[in-house]
Structure 1
Amino acid sequence: MASSDILYKVCRDEYEAYTLYRALMKSRWGKKYRNILEKAAEDELHHYRFWTSVVGKCTTNFTKIKVLLYTIMLYLFGLTVTLKAIESRETDASRIYRELSESRPDLKDSLSKIIDDEERHEAEFASSIDEGRVRYLGSITLGISDALIELTGIYTGSLGAFENTISAGLTGFLAGVAASISMGIASYSQAKHEAYKNPKLSALYTSIAYLIVVILLALPYFVIKSMIFAFMAMVIIAIVVVAYMTFYTTVLHNRN
């Protein structure tokens, strides 16, 4: 006999997935894909109702908190990564459903239908949702990584070269702006040899990503008077940027 705790968990997860898809559907990013998200939400609602017939009511007060967290993720990482994060939960659920179908033969047919729905959601999201930041992730990564290397080197050298943080900040900022143009040109040239990329968009994504890092790393030098503390703040921001990209690519490519 399957554990009642497992049954309660999958019931709760289905309700949370339904609530999350509904929230994404209402966001400005989700409106373009309303039909797909609405169908996914309807499926999750049917799954939830099925499980309530088995275990009873299973909603929790944490659902609203999770919706808020995923909404923040949507703003920070975009629709594709947010859906990937939700679908990773669904993948775990599919594994549990297969195990349950062996221990609960009376639920086997219903569980097979639920598994088919979950796999269809993943396939539909993969084939229908197309975000520029995902398609041009290589160009963005190129801009971010090069900016981190270039700017952290400049600011490390500035520790003994400048008397005040404003001078150091301006030096890094101006060097970064010039380098962003150079990287954009390099990205454009590279994309011309890749059939599935638009060279202009590739250059734009690389330059913008580079400039964003330039601004973030220069910012402490314009608001902090101490060179040491400005440098420490810059290093922390650089670490956050690396952590952001690591999380983004990990979720996007289903890595652990």
Structure 2
Amino acid sequence: MNYKIDADTIESLKKAQKNEITEYHIYSKLSSFIKNEHNSKVLKQIAQDELSHHNELKKFTGTDMKPNILKIYFYTFISLIFGITFGIKLMEKGESGAEKLYRELGNKIEEFKTIAKEENKHEEELIEIIEEEKLQFVGSMVLGLNDALVELTGTLAGLTFALKNTRLIALSGLITGIAATLSMAASEYLSARTEQESSRALKSSLYTGGAYVFTVACLVFPYLLFSNYVLSLVLTIIMAILIILVFNFYISVAKDLPFKQRFFEMAGISLGVAVISFIIGHFVRLFLGVDV
């Protein structure tokens, strides 16, 4: 090689080379697990790109790098549980340092210019054409989560001071939540049915209902676990914030959407409704003279 690269840069290239061979194994594993033929072909193409990058870097480092086994299993597991688009994009977000190094070296060495171009554009284009059902029904999941968080957080907060009995609050919350789940799923089916075929409309309603009933179960759980109604309400609000946090993080990674704005918007609406309902429950109890 005629190119003079300093020792620190060589070490950085070795780390990048290790990442490339690790990602080659991740994409290869995922391609063998995925039943969708189109997605499997896309993942195999990305895997070959990563292997090619590893081999290019080997020309400069002069060494073979072993993959990070823990990272392979972690991202494979994440991708299979939460979807390949989420897993891949989460992994790629951690590789910005390598891309920056490739761009800098690309100003002097032609091989790195090619690698940088493929890292930035080619992989993004391939990832975008991955067909994944979860992401096609994100709107339905958002609908279910939003409605459940706003309606049930408010309902439980109102019932907390109105009833002051965790068992009664849990019972009322579950009945309200299950009824609302069925209502939401049916409404989503009828709404989607006007624009889509029956099978897709049914899936849309199931995603909406599934997200709703999952949220209901999480929010009611503290009232089944503890006898102190104030503690249960606090834990329910914490649970609501955690659901909003996790879901918005998922969406922000999988769909490349801003995280902070969506999180604070959802949290603000849910907590605002909870506070108003809490106050209403307190005054309704005083006005009606109910003593449970």
How would you bin the TM-score normalised by the shorter chain?
0.7 to 0.9
Q: Distance in 2 between matches of 1:60 and 1:231?
A: 50
Task: Verify: 1:98 aligned to 2:103, yes or no.
Answer: yes
Aligned to 1:199: 201
Q: Equivalent residues in 2 for 1:103-252 (5 A)?
A: 103-104=108-109, 108-109=110-111, 111-112=113-114, 115-116=117-118, 119-127=121-129, 129-192=130-193, 194=195, 198-252=200-254
**Secondary structure of the corresponding residue to residue 254 of structure 1:** coil
Tell me if structure 2 keeps the 8 A contact 1:169–1:222. yes
Q: Which has the larger radius of gyration?
A: 2
Shift of 1:84: 2.1
Paired letter, 1:151: L
Match of 1:65 in 2: 70
Moved more, 211-220 or 7-16: 7-16
Q: CA deviation at 1:35?
A: 3.1
Paired residue for 2:263?
none
Range 191-200 or range 232-241, more displaced: 191-200
Distance of 1:236 and 1:71 partners within structure 2: 30
Q: Retained in 2: the 8 A contact 1:183–1:206?
A: yes
Q: TM-score, normalised by structure 2?
A: 0.73
Matched, 1:6 2:12: yes
2:79 match: 74
Unaligned runs of 5+ in 1: none
RMSD of the alignment, in Å? 2.9
Q: Distance between the aligned counterparts of 2:156 and 2:207, measured in 1?
A: 24
Partners of 2:201 and 2:59 in 1: CA distance:
54
Judged with a 3 Å threshold, the aligned counterparts in structure 2 of structure 1 residues 56 and 225 are, in CA distance, closer, same or farther, namely farther
One-letter amino acid matched to 2:71: K
Q: Which amino acid aligns with 2:182?
A: I
> Taking structure 1 as reference, are residues 111 and 89 closer, same or farther at Cα in structure 2, changes over 3 Å only?
farther
Q: Is the 8 A contact 1:47 1:114 kept in 2?
A: no
Instruction: Kindly state the Cα deviation for residue 145 of structure 1 after the two structures are TM-superposed.
Output: 0.7
Measure the CA separation in 2 of the matches of 1:181 and 1:92: 48
How far 1:245 moved relative to its partner?
A: 1.3
Q: CA deviation at 1:38?
A: 2.7
Indicate conservation of the 8 Å contact 2:20/2:50, yes or no. Answer: yes
1:196-250 deviations in Å (ceiling 9; x for gaps): 9933222221111111111121222222232233223222221121011111111
- Conserved 8 A contact 1:87-1:122: no
**1-structure distance, mates of 2:195, 2:64:** 50
State the alpha-carbon separation in 1 of the partners of residues 245 and 30 from structure 2.
24
Matched residue SS, 1:225: coil
CA drift of 1:144 comes to 0.2
Using the TM superposition, name which of 92-101 and 224-233 deviates more.
Answer: 92-101
Question: 1:42-57 alignment to 2 at 5 Å?
Answer: 42-57=48-63
Distance 2:226 2:66 in 1: 45
Give the whole-Å Cα distance in 2 for the aligned partners of 1:238 and 1:58: 48
Q: Distance in 1 between matches of 2:209 and 2:11?
A: 50
Q: Which amino acid aligns with 1:221?
A: Y
Letter in 1 for 2:85: T
Query: What displacement does 1:118 show?
Result: 6.2
CA distance in 1 between counterparts of 2:172 and 2:92 reads 45
User: What is the distance in 1 between the residues matched to 2:77 and 2:170?
Assistant: 30
Identify if the C-alpha distance between structure 1 residues 173 and 56 changes in structure 2 by more than 3 Å, giving closer, same or farther: farther
Identical aligned residues as a percent: 29
The question of 1:20 aligning with 2:26 is answered yes
CA distance in 1, matches of 2:239, 2:77: 19
Q: Could you tell me whether the CA contact under 8 Å between 2:102 and 2:112 is conserved in 1?
A: no
